[in-house]
Amino acid sequence: MYRSRGHLAVQGESPSLTELREILWTNRKPVGSVDQVWPKLYVGDESVARDKARLSSLGVTHVLNAAAGQCRINTGPRFYTDTEVVYHGVEAPDHPEFDLRPFFSSAARFIDSGKVLVHCAMGVSRSGALVLAYLMIHQGLTLVEAITAVRLCRDIGPNSGFLEQLRQLDNAYSAV
């Protein structure tokens, strides 16, 4: 797959965490319950994931819950049995020490399989990180390009640990 590495091809490394935070936190807007951030890709919060009528009106065929599990947002596949929605859950706490990297590839494959809502509790950190990974892995964007593309439609803010993991992914691709 061709990967556009833009200005990073010359630099060879992803921007620092400080620079990435500046991109993420400059000119912030209020976050709504759901926003389309890429064709066939929505990022939203828990309320949208639980609103089956809203999912249907958006044409969502797949839901990726980045805050799955009993102690978080326990929708699960059973919650959607009366719909045509395909469900995928990632049990990820929104904590900087949590390693989200093992889920990047499987989440990206899932996102690539339909019209998808990616959500967590607020649709900011965990879901934002998984959507950025998808745009890097399947759409060939650099981390900065992915952040810029998503922020045109929605403010996201992966926590510092997730952001560092995305930097590592970006650096791995720029080394190729």
Catalytic residue set? 120
Q: Can you tell me the distance from the alpha carbon of 119 to that of 88, in angstroms, rounded to the nearest whole number?
A: 11
Residues in CB range of 111: below 8 A, 6 or more apart: 41, 62, 64, 118, 130, 131, 134, 138
Choose among 7, 15, 14, 31: nearest CA to 157.
Answer: 31
Secondary-structure percent of the chain, ordered helix, strand, coil, rounded to 5: 45, 10, 45
Say if CB 98 and CB 128 are below 8 A apart. no
Say if CB 14 and CB 169 are below 8 A apart. no
Q: Can you tell me the distance from the alpha carbon of 126 to that of 171, in angstroms, rounded to the nearest whole number?
A: 20
